[in-house]
């Protein structure tokens, strides 16, 4: 039964990675840039939720909504102030800027909220489920995380496949100039993408801190990198890829911790990534790279 417990832990950790990876992959797909500040938006979201609950005594649902609103605003602002002026710059310049934004957010949090970790409160309103006479325990956090992840997946897929805005995003991600000729406002579409990605980051931040309740200014950094790995693993630019990549990464990490070595689990995760990329350079669900004739 340990196996099942580990699997549940892996899937729920992976669900968080998946939600974060969606932000990476959508932004990459549409703006063709790696937003390395994404992980730190998670941290900001978690702090907003933390203070809403602890200092303002807001109910958790309101706190999550508030965190989403603020992160959405933050994401759109980051895009507008830091990335938009570099729309035609080299990708290296954009990458360095993203790393700069990441440091800025971490240090902002450090000055504003200090370096001592905060104890994140419980936000999940229900307890654990015990199955098989106590052999399998599924925590309320795990259930919430997995359900949230599924819901996000369904909503995002519907959004990109069925709605006008979603289709416009796919059009922009394929060919910006052609999308513009259709009358699509490319900058607006990119802003919306950052808004969605950042709102998801806020959700991920709250879920992450519910599961690992220590919050400090670098809380988002490692999950951010892992989720980026998950996005590459699944095929960056692909929404189902981010989902599958995230969940697999979570499972590999937990199984690595449980069966091989606690210290080596991260190394195992990245080793698997390297093997996958050697065999399938575009990731599990990656698009074929078309050669323009």
Partner 1 sequence: MSMLKVEDIHVYYGSIYAIKGVSFEVNQGEIVTLIGANGAGKSTTLKTVSGMMKPKSGAITFEEKSLLGVKPHSIVGLGMAHCPEGRRIFQEMTVRDNLEMGAYTRPKGEIEDSIAHVYDLFPRLKERFRQIAGTMSGGEQQMLAMGRAMMSKPKLLMLDEPSMGLAPLLVEEIFRIIQDLNRAGTTILLVEQNARMALAIANRGYVLETGRIIASAEASALLKDETVKKAYLGG
Q: 223, 11 in Cβ contact below 8 A?
A: no
Size of interface with partner 1, in residues (CB under 8 A): 19
Residues 137-176, interacting with partner 1 (CB under 8 A): 164, 167-168, 170-171, 174-175
Single out the residue of 5, 157, 180, 191 in contact with partner 1 (rule: CB under 8 A): 180
Cα–Cα distances in angstroms (integers) from residue 202 to residues 5, 40, 180, in the given order: 27, 10, 31
Minimal distance, residue 161 CB to partner 1, in Å: 9
Crossing angle of helices 239-255 and 221-234, rounded to 10°: 120
Q: Using CB under 8 A, which of 92, 181, 278, 279 touches partner 1? A: 181
H helix or E strand, kind and range, residue 75: helix 60-78
Q: Least distance in Å: CB of 238 to partner 1?
A: 11
C-alpha dihedral sign at 94, 96, 101, 102: positive
**289 binding partner 1? (CB under 8 A):** no
In the chain, what is the straight-line distance between the N-terminal and C-terminal CA atoms, in Å? 55
Q: Could you give the string, one character per residue 9-48, with x where binding to partner 1 holds by CB under 8 A and - elsewhere?
A: ----------------------------------------
The single residue among 54, 60, 84, 287 that binds partner 1, judged by CB under 8 A, is 287
Using CB under 8 A as the binding rule, whether residue 95 contacts partner 1 is answered as no
What's the DSSP call for residue 163? S
Give the closest residue to 82 by CA, choosing from 25, 40, 22: 40
Contacts with partner 1 by CB under 8 A lie at 164, 167-168, 170-171, 174-175, 177-186, 287, 290
């Amino acid at each position: 039964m340990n196996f099942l417990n580990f699997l549940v832990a892996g899937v729920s950790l992976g669900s968080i990675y998946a939600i974060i990876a969606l932000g990476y992959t959508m932004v990459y797909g549409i703006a063709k840039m790696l937003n390395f500040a994404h992980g730190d938006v998670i941290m900001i979201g978690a702090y907003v939720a933390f203070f809403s609950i602890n200092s303002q005594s807001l109910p958790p649902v309101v706190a999550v909504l508030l965190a989403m609103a603020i992160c959405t605003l933050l994401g759109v602002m980051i895009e507008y102030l830091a990335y938009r002026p570099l729309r035609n710059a080299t990708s290296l310049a954009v990458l360095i800027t993203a790393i700069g934004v990441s440091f800025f957010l971490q240090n902002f949090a450090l000055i504003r909220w200090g370096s001592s970790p905060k104890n994140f409160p419980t936000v999940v309103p229900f307890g654990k489920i015990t199955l098989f006479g106590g052999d399998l325990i599924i925590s309320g956090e795990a259930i919430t995380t997995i359900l949230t992840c599924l819901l996000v997946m369904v909503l995002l897929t519907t959004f990109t496949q069925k709605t006008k805005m979603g289709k416009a995003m796919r059009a922009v991600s394929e060919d910006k100039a052609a999308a513009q000729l259709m009358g699509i406002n490319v900058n607006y579409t990119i802003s919306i993408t950052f808004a969605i990605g950042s709102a998801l980051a806020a959700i991920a931040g709250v879920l992450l801190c519910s599961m690992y309740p220590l919050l400090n200014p670098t809380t988002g950094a490692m999950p951010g990198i892992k989720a980026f790995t998950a996005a590459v693993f699944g095929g960056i630019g692909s929404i189902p890829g981010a989902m599958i990549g995230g969940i697999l990464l979570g499972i590999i990490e937990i199984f690595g911790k449980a069966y091989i070595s606690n210290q080596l689990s991260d190394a195992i995760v990245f080793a698997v990534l390297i093997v996958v990329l050697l065999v399938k350079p575009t990731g599990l669900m990656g698009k074929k790279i078309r050669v323009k004739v």
